[in-house]
C-alpha cells in the first residue's frame, strides 16, 4: 500500500523556509507538565530530515480547545522545551503563530534552526479555515509539509486552507506511515483478519463497523458498545450504557455478519458494579445475568479467554476502543489482558489511536505492537473509508 501523495523526501528543502504542521496535541497535567510525549516523538523523523537538509524548520500545531483566544494552560511552550531535549538542539519559540514578531523571528533563522509557533487555535481563523489566516501562515514558508495525521480529518486553515497559498506542499513521514498502515491493513490484509472494536458508543463507530464488517474474518465487540448488542439480542443489561436508538442497527450488523460467515464475538461475562461510585461493590456475572440496577464496567475472565483465543491465529489485528473503564484499576483487567493477547499473537497489529493507544501503553505493550496510530478520530475516519480533507488538499505524486 503506497501513499499516492507527494512526500517530504521528494521535495527540495535545502535552505528553504519549511513550515511543518505537526500534531503536538499532547496531554498535560495541572502543572502544565507533559504526561505522554509520544506524539512529539512520532514527528521527529520528519523534523530531523528537514534539519539535516539545512532547512529553516518552522513547526505549527494546536493544543487542546482554547476556543479561538489565548489561554496560558494551552500554550505550546512546555512542548518547545521537551522537543529541545528530544532533538538535542535549541528550539526557538514564538509567542504567536502569525504577525510581525513571528515574521521577524523567521527572517533571522539560519539553516538547520527550529522554531515552534504558539498554538494555532489561539486564533478563531484556524478552525474556521479562514483564508486570510491561512495566507498569513503560508507567508512564513517556501514549503509546506503536513505531518499531522491526527488532524487530517479536519478542514482547518493549517491543514487545508494553507495549501492554496504555498507553491510546494507534501506529506511528512508520519502522515505517510499512518495512511499506509491503516489503509494497508484494511485493503490488503493478511488473513485471518480480526477487528476488535470497543469504547462507549456504537453510534461513534457505525461507519467502521459497516466498513470493516465486510472485510474481516472475525469481529470482537467489547466496551460500553457491547451492551447495545447484548440488549439487541434480548438480554437484560441493568443500568449499563446503551443506545436504544441503535438496537435495530446492532441486531442487523450481528445478523449480517453471521450470514456472511464472519465470526462475531460478544462478551460472555462482565464485571458489574452496584453504582458508579469507585468504592461500590463489584462482581463477575454472565452477560445473561446482569442484575437490574447494576452497571457493566469491563469484560470478565471468560470473555478474556474467549477473545484471546479468537486472536491467537490472526495474521492481521486492528484494535480500536478499550474493553471497559480501564482508567479505573478495578475495571482495567479486561483491556490489559486483551492487550497482552494481541501483543503475543504472531500478527500485524494495528492500534487505532486515542484511548486504545493509552490503554496499550499502560499495559506495557506499546513496543510489541506493529503500529500505534497517533490519531483517534482521524484513524476512525480513515477506517470508515471516508474523505480526509487534510490529506486530499496535498498534491498527488507526479
Enzyme catalytic residues: 39, 201, 354, 377
Q: Report, in angstroms and rounded to the nearest whole number, the Rg of the chain calculated over CA atoms.
A: 23
- Distance from CA of residue 103 to its chain's centroid? 32
Q: In 3-state terms, what secondary structure has residue 325?
A: coil
Q: In 3-state terms, what secondary structure has residue 360?
A: helix
CB 198 within 8 A of CB 356: yes
CB 160 within 8 A of CB 393: yes
Among candidates 217, 205, 230, which has minimal Cα distance to 322? 205
Q: Which residues contact 257 (CB under 8 A, 6 or more apart)?
A: 213, 219, 263, 264
Q: Where are the beta strands (DSSP E) in the chain?
A: 17-21, 56-60, 92-93, 114-116, 143-146, 168-171, 193-197, 218-221, 263-265, 269-273, 282-286, 295-299, 316-320, 348-351, 371-372
The whole-angstrom separation of Cα 83 and Cα 89 is 9
For 90-118, b where at least 16 C-beta lie within 10 A, e where not — what string?
ebbbbeebbeeebeebbeebeeebbbbbb
Distances in whole angstroms, Cα of residue 260 to Cα of each of 68, 257, 313, 317, 318: 48, 5, 20, 19, 20
The whole-angstrom separation of Cα 162 and Cα 315 is 40
Among candidates 390, 397, 395, 392, which has minimal Cα distance to 21? 390
Q: Which residues contact 388 (CB under 8 A, 6 or more apart)?
A: 152, 153, 378, 381, 382
- Distance from CA of residue 17 to its chain's centroid? 29
The whole-angstrom separation of Cα 192 and Cα 186 is 12
The C-alpha cell at 278 is 469507585
Q: What are the phi and psi torsion angles at 364 (to 5°)? A: 75, 25
The whole-angstrom separation of Cα 151 and Cα 191 is 30
Amino acid at each position: 500500500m503506497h501513499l499516492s501523495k507527494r512526500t517530504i523526501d521528494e521535495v527540495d528543502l535545502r535552505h528553504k523556509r519549511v513550515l511543518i504542521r505537526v500534531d503536538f496535541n499532547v496531554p498535560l497535567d495541572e502543572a502544565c507538565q507533559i504526561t505522554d510525549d509520544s506524539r512529539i516523538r512520532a514527528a521527529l523523523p520528519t523534523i530531523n530530515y528537514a534539519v539535516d537538509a539545512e532547512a529553516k524548520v518552522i513547526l505549527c500545531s494546536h493544543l487542546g480547545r482554547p476556543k479561538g483566544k489565548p489561554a496560558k494552560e494551552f500554550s505550546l511552550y512546555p512542548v518547545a522545551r521537551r522537543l529541545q531535549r528530544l532533538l538535542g538542539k535549541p528550539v526557538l519559540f514564538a509567542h504567536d503563530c502569525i504577525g510581525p514578531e513571528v515574521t521577524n523571528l523567521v527572517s533571522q533563522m539560519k539553516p538547520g534552526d527550529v522554531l515552534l509557533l504558539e498554538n494555532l487555535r489561539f486564533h478563531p481563523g484556524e478552525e474556521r479555515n479562514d483564508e486570510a489566516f491561512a495566507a498569513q501562515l503560508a507567508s512564513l514558508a517556501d514549503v509546506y509539509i503536513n505531518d499531522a495525521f491526527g488532524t487530517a480529518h479536519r478542514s482547518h486553515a493549517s491543514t487545508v486552507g494553507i495549501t492554496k497559498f504555498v507553491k510546494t506542499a507534501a506529506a511528512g513521514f508520519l502522515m505517510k506511515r499512518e495512511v499506509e498502515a491503516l489503509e494497508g491493513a484494511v485493503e490488503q490484509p493478511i488473513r485471518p483478519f480480526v477487528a476488535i472494536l470497543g469504547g462507549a458508543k456504537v453510534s461513534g463507530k457505525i461507519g467502521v463497523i459497516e466498513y470493516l464488517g465486510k472485510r474481516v474474518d472475525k469481529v470482537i465487540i467489547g466496551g460500553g458498545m457491547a451492551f447495545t448488542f447484548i440488549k439487541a439480542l434480548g438480554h437484560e443489561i441493568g443500568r449499563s450504557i446503551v443506545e436504544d436508538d441503535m438496537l435495530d442497527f446492532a441486531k442487523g450488523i450481528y445478523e449480517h455478519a453471521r450470514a456472511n460467515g464472519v465470526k462475531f464475538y460478544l462478551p460472555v461475562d462482565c464485571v458489574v458494579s452496584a453504582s458508579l461510585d469507585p468504592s461500590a461493590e463489584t462482581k463477575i456475572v454472565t452477560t445473561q445475568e446482569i442484575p437490574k440496577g447494576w452497571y457493566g464496567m469491563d469484560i470478565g475472565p471468560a470473555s478474556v479467554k474467549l477473545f484471546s483465543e479468537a486472536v491467537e491465529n490472526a495474521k492481521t489485528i486492528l484494535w480500536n476502543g478499550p474493553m471497559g473503564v480501564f482508567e479505573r484499576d478495578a475495571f482495567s483487567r479486561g483491556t490489559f489482558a486483551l492487550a497482552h493477547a494481541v501483543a503475543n499473537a504472531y500478527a500485524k497489529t494495528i492500534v487505532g489511536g486515542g484511548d486504545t493507544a493509552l490503554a496499550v501503553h499502560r499495559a506495557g505493550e506499546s513496543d510489541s505492537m506493529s503500529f500505534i496510530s497517533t490519531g483517534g478520530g482521524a484513524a476512525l475516519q480513515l477506517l470508515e473509508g471516508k474523505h480526509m480533507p487534510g490529506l486530499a488538499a496535498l498534491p498527488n505524486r507526479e
